[in-house]
Structure 1
Amino acid sequence: MLDLGISKMALIGAVALIVIGPEKLPRVARTVGTLLGKAQRYVSDVKAEVNRAMDLDELKKMKASVEEAGRDVESSLRSVKTDFEKDWNAVTAEVQDMGEATADSPSPGWTPPPPEYRRPDKNWRLKRGAVPQWYKSRHGVRRQVQSGAARVARFRPRRPGA
């Protein structure tokens, strides 16, 4: 574009001062500055719009390629599904045929399944103490929670006269 240096701008300012005059020069400079700012904003808006249009085109191409890949995957999954269903039906038919043939007598290597596990009838969540109850009662170990008042009464010193 224009290659404006400091010397060229000074020359343009001196010519403008002579032609326009010192009274109108600040107003004209302000107007020229606002017009240049508007022009720069307009050019940047146009550039941004062009970039958005280019990005939109790229996104449309990318969307088309992703959709095509999705269709390819879907078709391959359908073919795998049909192959699997054919194989499954063939295997289940063979198993049913074998089951009908051997329904009267079990095979020699067949063993019945193990019995299902049953938890014992005791309350397994209840925590069992390691110290027996008779030992606790003989040695005065607390077996129940005491309230605050009972604890104070138990450990309160006795009056000598009572």
Structure 2
Amino acid sequence: MIDLGVSKLALIAVVALVVVGPERLPKVARMAGNLFGRAQRYMADVKAEVSRQMEVEEFKKFREESATTLKEVENSIHSTVQEASSNLSDQADIFETSFEKPLLDEREVLRKTMRQGRSSWGVKRAARPMWFKRSSGLRTRVQSGAARMKRLHHAAGK
């Protein structure tokens, strides 16, 4: 930037006072300040645009590098899978034995198909005593949303 000291600023102010005059000096100073501010904002916008363009270029480079790396990883995975599948097909003859699953007995089938009463959520929730529900703030009666709102608004109006 321009190196302006106090003595140079004072000299500029005296020359401006003589040339412009005391009546129009505030208007000229205000206009000069506005122009200086616009110039600073313009320079800041240009700097921001240049940095944004640099970031875009860096992002493009990064995207290209990541795309090539991704292709390489995909190719290596694909070759590994093909190699493993060929090895498994070679080894399939060794493991071709028939395994029989044990049959389930009747009690086990019933246990899996029928819902256990004590493990259900509703039974566990209802098993709490009423005094505990009241002291902990749990609902003791089921109420619809409309009924609950009516009860709360009626209680607030009293």
Query: Do these two structures clear the TM 0.5 threshold for a shared fold by scoring above it?
Result: yes
Deviation at 1:5, TM superposition (A): 2.2
**Match 2:104 to one of 108, 116, 119:** 116
Q: What amino acid maps onto 1:34 in structure 2?
A: N
| Greater fraction of residues in helix | 2
After superposition, what is the alpha-carbon deviation per residue over 1:106-130, rounded to whole angstroms, capped at 9, x for unaligned?
xxxx9x6544354366989456xxx
After superposition, what is the alpha-carbon deviation per residue over 1:56-88, rounded to whole angstroms, capped at 9, x for unaligned?
111011001110110010000110111011112
Q: TM-score, normalised by structure 2?
A: 0.62
Deviation at 1:31, TM superposition (A): 1.1
Quickly say closer, same or farther: Cα 1:15–1:117, change in 2 above 3 A: farther
Runs of 4+ in structure 1 off by over 6 angstroms are 120-124
Unpaired stretches in structure 1, ≥5 consecutive residues:
104-109, 128-162
Aligned counterpart, 2:48 = 48
Unpaired stretches in structure 2, ≥5 consecutive residues:
119-158
Deviation at 1:29, TM superposition (A): 0.7
For residues 80 and 118 of structure 1, what CA distance do their matches in structure 2 show? 46
Quickly say closer, same or farther: Cα 1:29–1:117, change in 2 above 3 A: farther
Aligned counterpart, 2:130 = none
Secondary structure of the 1:3 match is coil
Deviation at 1:16, TM superposition (A): 0.7
- 1:24 paired with 2:24, answer yes
Secondary structure of the 2:107 match is coil
Among all aligned residue pairs of Structure 1 and Structure 2, give the percentage whose two residues are the same amino acid: 39
For residues 36 and 16 of structure 2, what CA distance do their matches in structure 1 show? 17
Secondary structure of the 1:119 match is helix
- Kindly name which structure, 1 or 2, has the bigger radius of gyration based on alpha carbons: 1
Aligned counterpart, 1:67 = 67
CA RMSD of superposed structures (Å): 2.7
Q: What amino acid maps onto 2:2 in structure 1?
A: L
Aligned residues: 115
For residues 29 and 117 of structure 1, what CA distance do their matches in structure 2 show? 100
Deviation at 1:7, TM superposition (A): 2.7
Q: What amino acid maps onto 2:107 in structure 1?
A: R
Q: TM-score, normalised by structure 1?
A: 0.61
For residues 3 and 87 of structure 2, what CA distance do their matches in structure 1 show? 78
